[in-house]
Amino acid sequence: MQTERSGVLWAIGSYLIWGIMPIYWKSLEHVVSMEILVSRIVWAFILTFLVVILLENGKHLKEDFKKLWSTRRDFWVLCAASGIVSSNWFIYIWAVNHNYIVQTSLGYYMNPLVSVLLGIIVLKERLSGAQKIAFVLAVIGVVILTVYYGTFPWIAFSLAVTFAVYGLIKKRVKLDALRGLTIETFFIVPFAVLYYIWLFMDGQAVFLQIDVKTDLLLIFTGLVTALPLVMYAKAVQRIPLYMAGFLQYIAPTIMLFIGVVVFKETFGKIEFLSFAFIWFALIIFTASTILEVVKVKRSQPQ
């Protein structure tokens, strides 16, 4: 019971950080999204690598690399995951700093439903009746928003799909959270460094060029990237996945609140109607998942 309670606290902590992240990225609004992204990659790698070394896990990191290289498929799949999560980070940062926080919230509400859809397509999983209803409701919500905007909500869709695909890969290639993030950022950090060199040579870099506050905010992008991921990894080791899935709605709810209340983004009757369909879909989806888990537990011998 104590373990589960600590797991819930780790999960809530990670989702709270993810939820308030738009405020952090908004504080870097004067920096172009691509420089924020490469800073995030470089400093996340430096931070996670240093922590791995300080925890005397360098030997395990080396073993992880050897294991990945021995199964080349996992190695290249994780390389792909690195690119996918980087694109997710870029879309998210760009969206926040171009006043699309409400759409980012929609994307992360849609994420668990897209994950299940990928499970059907890739893992040949089957949907229950309640889950099918949830999908229909979610699709109606997206269609309403598409008709109202006159264009498909690509930001929300891209965030949901990239994070769902990343989650699917992480499910199939199992690594320690901290060392896994170190390896993922290692794959992409050479490209980030080369881009940063080009920015400095072209005179477009902001890092070390404006003020100390901006420099520190760029450096700490590594911490705000790694910390919630490690906290989440600790959480899922201690609590059932359905509970982690239920708690994950904390983050997009906070994002929505920040977008509408703090940054005054539009959220009229049509947006509310669209979100209502998706919220209702998530309630049905989550409730059916919990009921299935309870049913399985009751059927098992005590």
Span 4-60, pLDDT tens digits: 778 888 888 989 999 999 999 999 999 999 999 999 999 999 999 998 898 877 888
What is this structure's pTM? 0.86
Residue 231, pLDDT score:
84
CA–CA distance, 43 with 54 (Å, rounded to integer): 16
Q: Which residues of the chain have pLDDT under 70?
A: 1-2, 123, 125, 240-245, 293, 296-297, 299-302
Residue 301, pLDDT score:
61
pLDDT for the residue 297: 67
Q: What's the rounded Cα separation, in Å, for the pair 121 and 128?
A: 15
- C-alpha 298/C-alpha 292 separation (Å) is 10
228 alpha-carbon distance from chain centroid: 10
Tokens 């990237």, located at residue: 225
Angle at 211 between CA 260 and CA 205, to 5 degrees: 85
The pair of structure tokens assigned to 271 is 């947006």
Whose CA is closest to 134, among 154, 149, 120? 120
Say what the pLDDT of residue 2 is.
65
- The token pair at 88 is 């997710």
- Give CA–CA dist 242/143, Å, rounded: 28
